[in-house]
């Protein structure tokens, strides 16, 4: 398999619009090779001496830490800036200047920022590759790739493929950047059925609907979870309260779409895989994905988070051009490894 269809080395990763199916397949091929490193069966120091600038100007747990972990697992060092108020952006510095400066201190940068388009603007001043870790309500390309990687694995374990998939997306489809990026990626495949379930005020943006219909896919839009949904995947999302202009709006939609064992059994099939980009809002008044599903074999949320490390490792290896020399820099693992569930 070759990367001829997509030249990753030195590239920014800003939007899923950059990828075609061949590029995705190649990223997943490299991600599969990362599993033994992530499981600590062996280790590589291929990025020894390299520095990741991990810039998170919005709250994050798994995206920030999995970017850092992925870089560490390839032997590199991580330098973090967390929170707008801790950076010179709070003193009025432009994204361009911050990028010029910080790219002098790093070999690659991962960045999250509350404004749509901000990461692309930042990349214009960067001398090193920039990976978008979420820009406002716009896009979250690495999450979409790890979601798609998970979907492919789940389909395989059920004897099916991404082509022909029926996915139900539930919740805040207006502000949820993960579903925007995921819809665009899935639209590259064949014969997908999208069932979009959200309050009309939080419906999927027109630009994403166009990507779906232009790809010739089937689209069902509704504001209620009703009847039987013959979906392979149920992708639940969090109401993105931080993007709302008023608290009233947040109060109106909080807890509107809940998923627990009883609701799942009533509306979905025994085969339906449950996904969520996380964090799930577990406060009683929201409780969008109940703990009573935690032991359900179809709950893929922690397979998603584990897969996130593999996909981010692959993206680092590809953008820094080391995907073919990882084995040459392997070292033994000297400590006892816990049993992995990856």
Q: Which residues bind ligand NCD (CB under 6 A)?
A: 62-63, 134, 140, 143, 177-178, 238, 277-279
Task: Determine the 3-state secondary structure of 120 from DSSP.
Answer: helix
| 311 in Cβ contact with 149 (< 8 Å) | yes
Which is closer to ligand NCD, CB of 143 or CB of 298? 143
Query: Smallest distance from the beta carbon of 112 to ligand NCD, in angstroms?
Result: 7
CA separation for the pair 27, 149 (Å, rounded): 9
Query: Smallest distance from the beta carbon of 83 to ligand NCD, in angstroms?
Result: 15
Which is closer to ligand NCD, CB of 293 or CB of 301? 301
Query: Residue with CB nearest ligand NCD?
Result: 238
Query: Smallest distance from the beta carbon of 133 to ligand NCD, in angstroms?
Result: 7
Query: Smallest distance from the beta carbon of 339 to ligand NCD, in angstroms?
Result: 25
Which is closer to ligand NCD, CB of 81 or CB of 305? 305
In residues, how long is the chain?
342
Residue of 205, 220, 165 lying closest to 189 (CA atoms): 165
Query: Smallest distance from the beta carbon of 143 to ligand NCD, in angstroms?
Result: 5
- Find how far residue 112's CA is from the centre of its chain: 12
Query: Smallest distance from the beta carbon of 54 to ligand NCD, in angstroms?
Result: 14
**Contacts (Cβ under 8 Å, ≥6 apart) of 141:** 13, 14, 15, 16, 18, 131, 132, 181
CA separation for the pair 13, 44 (Å, rounded): 24
Phi-psi region of 49 (alpha: psi -120 to 50; beta: other; left: phi over 0): left
**Contacts (Cβ under 8 Å, ≥6 apart) of 12:** 120, 123, 126, 129, 130, 131, 132
Query: Smallest distance from the beta carbon of 178 to ligand NCD, in angstroms?
Result: 5
Residue positions annotated with a catalytic role:
62-63, 91, 112, 140
- Residue 272 DSSP code: P
DSSP, residue by residue, 139-197: B-HHHHHHHHHHHHHHHHHTT--STT-EEEEES-TTT-HHHHHHHHHHTTSSS-EEEEE
Which is closer to ligand NCD, CB of 68 or CB of 277? 277
Dig out the tokens for 133 from the structure.
């870790």
Dig out the tokens for 163 from the structure.
């082509």
- The CA distances from residue 183 to 80, 189, 245, in Å, are 30, 10, 25
Which is closer to ligand NCD, CB of 12 or CB of 312? 312
Which is closer to ligand NCD, CB of 186 or CB of 239? 239
Which is closer to ligand NCD, CB of 44 or CB of 138? 138
Dig out the tokens for 175 from the structure.
């502000």
């Amino acid at each position: 398999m070759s990367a001829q269809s997509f030249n990753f080395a030195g590239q920014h990763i800003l939007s899923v619009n950059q990828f075609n199916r061949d590029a995705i397949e190649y990223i997943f091929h490299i991600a599969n090779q990362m599993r033994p490193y992530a499981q600590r069966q062996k280790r590589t120091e291929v990025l020894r001496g390299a520095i990741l600038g991990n810039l998170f100007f919005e709250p994050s747990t798994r995206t920030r830490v999995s970017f850092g972990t992925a870089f560490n697992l390839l032997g590199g060092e991580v330098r973090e800036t967390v929170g707008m108020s801790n950076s010179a952006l709070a003193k009025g510095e432009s994204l361009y200047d911050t990028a010029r400066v910080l790219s002098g201190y790093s070999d690659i940068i991962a960045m999250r920022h509350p404004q749509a388009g901000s990461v692309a603007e930042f990349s214009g001043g960067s001398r090193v590759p920039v990976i978008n870790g979420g820009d406002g309500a716009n896009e979250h390309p690495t999450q979409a790739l790890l979601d798609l990687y998970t979907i492919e694995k789940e389909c395989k374990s059920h004897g099916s493929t991404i082509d022909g998939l029926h996915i139900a997306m539930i919740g805040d489809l207006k502000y949820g950047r993960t579903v925007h990026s995921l819809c665009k990626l899935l639209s590259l495949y064949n014969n997908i059925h999208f069932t979009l379930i959200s309050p009309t005020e939080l419906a999927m943006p027109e630009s994403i609907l166009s990507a779906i219909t232009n790809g010739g896919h089937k689209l069902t839009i509704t504001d209620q979870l009703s009847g039987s949904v013959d979906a392979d995947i149920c992708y639940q999302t969090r109401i993105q309260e931080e993007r709302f202009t008023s608290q009233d709006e947040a109060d109106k939609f909080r807890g509107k779409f809940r998923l627990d064992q009883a609701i799942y059994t009533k509306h979905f099939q025994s085969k339906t895989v449950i996904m969520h980009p996380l964090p799930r809002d577990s406060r009683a008044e929201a409780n969008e994905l109940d703990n009573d599903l935690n032991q359900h074999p179809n709950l893929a949320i922690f397979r998603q988070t584990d897969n996130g490390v593999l996909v981010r490792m692959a993206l680092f290896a590809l953008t820094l051009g080391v995907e073919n020399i990882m084995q040459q820099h392997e070292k033994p693992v000297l400590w006892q490894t816990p049993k992995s569930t990856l």
